[in-house]
Each structure stands twice: as structure tokens, then as C-alpha cells.
Amino acid sequence: MNHYVSLNGTILLTILWSAMGYYVYGGMGGITAMAILGVLYSISIAISFIPYVGVFIQGWVMIYQILPWVQDFTHIGTTWLTDIMLFVNLGCGVILWCIVAIWVTLTLRRYFGWFT
């Protein structure tokens, strides 16, 4: 059930980004660019599940790998919309990263006596 809710949220956000892309970039090119960027940013959230360093890797991948590729592929520029998309998805990654880091720390502490 939780995966279903998460998938609906991802689809809803991608539709929202695409609709906003129509007005910011104009036409179907903006819709396509924001849909591609939204899907790739949503997939990159999985990187934040790496304990302790995942969110830093996710941020690097989003800023230096995904965004330049989408800009080259769709010929869009960086605007407030791409910045908001980056920070919203990075914020979701930070929340997941914190949960995973706390869970791993508590598990290591319980079973191995680390971090005491």
C-alpha cells in the first residue's frame, strides 16, 4: 500500500512539473523536458538510501549528471522551476536519508555495540 501511495505522489508531482513546464518554457517542449527531468529526479531519490553518504551522492548526480544531460537533450535553461524541482526531490532524499541513517546507527549499536 505504501509503495502505491508513493508512486501516486511521484506521478502527481511529475504531472505538476510538466504542467508548469508548459507555462515556463512554452509548448510541448517544456512539458517533455519537465516530464523527463521529473522522472529522472524521482529515480535518483533511490540513491539517498545509501547510509551516511547517499544524499551527497544524490545531490551530485542530480546537479552534475541529470540536469546537464536533460538541458542538452531538450535545450532548456535553468530556471526557478528546475531549481524548485531539484530542492523538492533533494528534500525528499534528505528525509529518507535521515531515516535510513538513524535505522543503520541503531542497528549497529544494538548488534555490535558501535556508537555507544
d(CA 91, CA 94): 5
- Any alpha helices (H) in 22-66, and if so which ranges? 27-44, 54-61
What pLDDT shows up at residue 4? 47
Report helix, strand and coil shares of the chain as percent, to nearest 5.
Answer: 90, 0, 10
Which pTM does this prediction carry?
A: 0.85
Average pLDDT, the chain: 89
pLDDT digits (tens, 9 = 90+) for 69-116: 999 999 999 999 999 999 999 999 999 999 999 999 898 888 887 766
Segment 40-63 shows an average pLDDT of 93
- Please answer whether residues 90 and 47 qualify as being in contact, where contact means their C-beta atoms are separated by less than 8 angstroms: no
